[in-house]
A = this chain, B = another copy of it.
Amino acid sequence: MSIRDTQREAGIERLAGHLLEHGLARTSLRQLAAAAGVSDRMLLYYFADKAEVLAAVMARVAGELSLRLAEAIPDGAPLRPAELVRRAAEFTTGPEMRRFMRLWVEVVAAAARGEAPFPAIVVQVMAGFRQWVDARLDLPAGADREGTAAAIIAVIDGLALVDICSEDEIAPRMAAALSGLLAD
Residues in B whose Cβ lies below 8 Å from that of A81:
181
**Residues from 45 to 97 in A contacting B, C-beta threshold 8 Å:** 81-82, 85
B25, B148, B176: the one contacting A113 at CB < 8 Å is B25
Residue from the list B82, B106, B158, B170 in contact with A155, Cβ < 8 A: B158
Cβ–Cβ contact A85 & B155, under 8 A: no
A:157-184 near B, CB below 8 Å? 157-159, 161-162, 164-167, 170, 173-178, 180-184
Are A144 and B173 interface neighbours, CB within 8 A? yes
Please tell me which one of the listed residues B109, B146, B156, B182 contacts residue A181 in the complex, with CB atoms under 8 A apart.
B182
Does A38 sit within 8 A of B, measured CB to CB? Answer: no
Give bound CA distance, A152 to B164, whole Å: 15
A182 to B106, CA, bound (A): 28
Query: Do the beta carbons of B162 and A153 come within 8 Å of each other?
Result: yes
Q: Roughly how many angstroms separate A158 CA and B165 CA in the complex, as a whole number?
A: 14
Contact partners of A156 in chain B: CB under 8 A: 158
Asked if A151 CB lies within 8 Å of chain B CBs, one says yes
Contact A147 B159, CB 8 Å, known A108-B165, A183-B181: no
- Chain B: which residue is nearest A122 at the CB level? B165
CB distance from A143 to the nearest CB of B (A): 8
Q: Does A10 contact B (CB under 8 A)?
A: no
Residues of A within 8 A of B (CB): 23-25, 81-82, 85, 102, 105-106, 108-114, 122-123, 126, 143-144, 146-148, 150-159, 161-162, 164-167, 170, 173-178, 180-184
11 A-B interface contacts by CB (under 8 A): A105-B109, A112-B164, A147-B174, A150-B174, A151-B175, A153-B158, A154-B158, A155-B155, A158-B161, A181-B183, A183-B183
